Amino acid sequence: MAAAPLSAYGAAVGKPPTNAYFVASNGAVYSYGRTADGTWQAAAPVGAKATAPPGAPIASARLSDGSPVAFFVGDDGAIWGGCGSLWRMTPVKLLRPGTPLTVAATPTVVMLLFSNDQGQTSGIHIEAEIHHPCDVSRDVPPPPDPESPPGAWHVPNGTIAATGLPDGEIGVFAVDVTGAVHATWRSPSGRWTDKTLTPSGTSLPGGGIASTLSPTDGSLTLFYSNHSGQVILAQVTEGAGLRADPRPSPWTGAKISDGAALAGVSSTLGNDIAYIAAGGTAIDLQTDTANQWMNAVTLSPPGFAKDGRPVAVTASPDEVDVYCGTATDVPGHFSIPPHTGGDITWQAAGAPGMVPLPGWITGS
């Protein structure tokens, strides 16, 4: 089914395509975003219908060949994924339906990561040449059994952030059961190591966390929240610990609820970190390319969305887009002139009730 273009927000020719995904109220996965010709399209089903809990967590990435992929845990407990269509990638009853996933893509491997009901973090790696996520052939062998990084410190079904690096290393980040932030690293050879980055009590156990990779200098940055309503910026050394002391955001008017969902993206202008603040206001925090806090952009009035509701964010050199669901469960996005000021546009991509709570949206 082809998506209808949105007329209220015109084409932006030359901007890269984007894709946002969510599980709609009918349990089907929907996608919306900007096409290669710059046209924004409304939400439409992705390929064949696949069922998952309405509003369930969904993860996405863009592969090195430019393909957008999405993954989720369906009603059958299997991990589903794909590009233009979705297919069952693992045996059924692997996980609880709707278990949160995150995905990290390197040039050769796609890693799907999750925390099970016991708080054990696990990962499934998909070799791109053998198990390409866009290959819907049922003759393709299933991915290998899950790997288990060291430790069982994660909050059951808690939030995980992950980033794949060009050299094949993968960083996995989360807030443990004590409220300490961890970095767990997978080398290209498959060896896992773990590093505790902060003291206990730093953040809400299992709470929101985001990681970004700079396209200019390859630096890794983490973002999480403290108990005072601030977003914390932490620079991380690949395969190791912190590069500098973490720095809280300085703006008092952009407080985040304890442990609320965060989304981050890095571009040639710096980082953008989006979330729904206390009071239901959509916020975009910006840094420069030297990882210095630069600006806080208020995207909406209070009550626009539920506090802490999940969001997604993508960026190009001349546009940042923040995707979320509203207080009436309408999917859509904000278009922001990045780091330069200017008009902010909200564009709905569907009808009320379409993306029910918890209302996860992911983007790439």
What span, in angstroms and rounded, lies between the C-alpha atoms of 265 and 246?
18
Mean pLDDT of the chain: 87
Decide which of 342 and 287 is more confident: 287
The CATH superfamily label for domain 20-363 reads: Fucose-specific lectin (2.120.10.70)
For residue range 184-243, what is the model confidence (pLDDT) as tens digits? 999 999 899 999 999 999 999 999 999 999 999 999 999 999 999 999 999 999 999 999
The whole model's pTM is what? 0.91
Query: What would you report as the CA-atom Rg of the chain, rounded to the nearest whole angstrom?
Result: 19
Q: Sheet of 282-287: strands edge to edge?
A: 263-267, 270-276, 282-287, 293-298
What span, in angstroms and rounded, lies between the C-alpha atoms of 143 and 94?
13
For residue 76, how many other CB atoms are within 10 A of its CB? Answer: 17
Q: Which of 325, 326, 215 is nearest to 270 (CA)?
A: 215
For residue range 78-131, what is the model confidence (pLDDT) as tens digits? 999 888 788 888 889 988 999 999 999 888 888 888 887 776 777 776 655 545
| pLDDT, mean of residues 250-271 | 94
What span, in angstroms and rounded, lies between the C-alpha atoms of 86 and 78?
12
Those residues whose C-beta lies under 8 Å from the C-beta of residue 22, and which sit 6 or more positions away, are 29, 30, 43, 55, 58, 325, 331, 355, 359, 360, 361, 362
Q: What per-residue confidence (pLDDT) applies to 3?
A: 31
Q: Which parts of 52-106 are beta strand (E)?
A: 59-62, 68-73, 79-82, 86-88, 102-105
For residue range 124-163, what is the model confidence (pLDDT) as tens digits? 766 555 456 676 655 555 666 777 777 657 888 889 999 9
Q: What per-residue confidence (pLDDT) applies to 132?
A: 65
Q: Which parts of 244-330 are beta strand (E)?
A: 247-248, 263-267, 270-276, 282-287, 293-298, 312-316, 319-325
For residue range 54-83, what is the model confidence (pLDDT) as tens digits? 999 999 988 777 788 899 999 999 999 888
Domain ranges of the chain: 20-363
Residue % of the chain over a pLDDT of 70: 89
Q: What per-residue confidence (pLDDT) applies to 98?
A: 92
| HEC per residue, 132-184 | CCCCCCCCCCCCCCCECCCCCCCCCCCCCEEEECCCCCEEEEEECCCCCEEEE
